[in-house]
Amino acid sequence: MNKVWFATAFLVLLGASCRSTKPVASSDIPQVSAQELWQALDGSRLEFETFSTRADLDIEDTNGKSGASAMVRMYRDSLIWISLRKAGLEGARILITRDSLHILDRTAKTYYPLGFAQLRQQYRIDLGFEALQDLISGNALVRQPLDWTAGLDNGKLLLSGQDGGKVHRFWLRPSDLKLTAQSLEALEHPEQLPGQPGAQSMGMTMQLDAYEPVSDQTFATFRLLTVQGEMPASLQARFSKMAINEPELSFTFHINPGYTVVRDPKE
């Protein structure tokens, strides 16, 4: 089976961006409380009913390096639709609902229906619709306050907290409190603190930069995503043509009856 489009599709679901920024001396960074950092994070969420964008992608995984472009459309809290293309031809189409993920690999004439429980088991990380929506939007992966700890790390403000077996970290730019990176670490033994013996983990890190205005909000147009797990990979994306609340977005997803149905992407 051709796994290239499946791996590409999975990475695109996670969105992501980065350009390096000049470190700031710790002595020049004002002290900001954990509560203030959380309020800045929560208050900067991209708000929309519908959202669309395009992205140029560079992907590296166990299959090697490849490039693609993507069209992304989202209906808030309901649907995510993605079309992946190479050389102008559609290679895969993805539809995500609140409880499932569907991938059409047009090159292999294959259809993958997947549940989020299956993805959680394979990647050992709590992936769901809201997490994917937030990653594409560039939002923080946490929607409720935790027992936060604030600090400094390499010239950035760091906010960290643990939610059961998941450790969340957010790095914010001191000048404007924009999110520059976030990580999600899922501990195999959550009774152990991160870094302690036995606290093995799986997870992902996303870096963000190059914010641009979208309506009266801002959106990080460069992303770098790194995934650790059974299918380690990285994706760099450059977003363009962002639009919020456009009327009558199309979410067409037709399954050709001649396509082979594969319920386990590792088959």
DSSP letters for 81-106:
EEEEEETTEEEEEEEE-SSEEEEEET
* pLDDT bracket for residue 229 (50, 70, 90): low
Nearest 5°: phi and psi at 213? -70, 140
Q: What is the pLDDT of residue 20?
A: 40
How do residues 41-60 score in pLDDT, each as one tens digit?
999 999 999 999 999 999 88
Distance of CA 206 to the CA centre of its chain: 7
pTM for this predicted structure:
0.81
pLDDT averaged over the chain? 83
Contact 231, 62 (CB under 8 A): yes
Q: Span 108-136, mean pLDDT?
A: 81
Share of the chain above pLDDT 70, in %: 77
Nearest-angstrom CA–CA distance, 265 and 267: 5
Contact 123, 3 (CB under 8 A): no
Architecture of domain 4-261: Clam (2.50)
Contact 53, 239 (CB under 8 A): yes
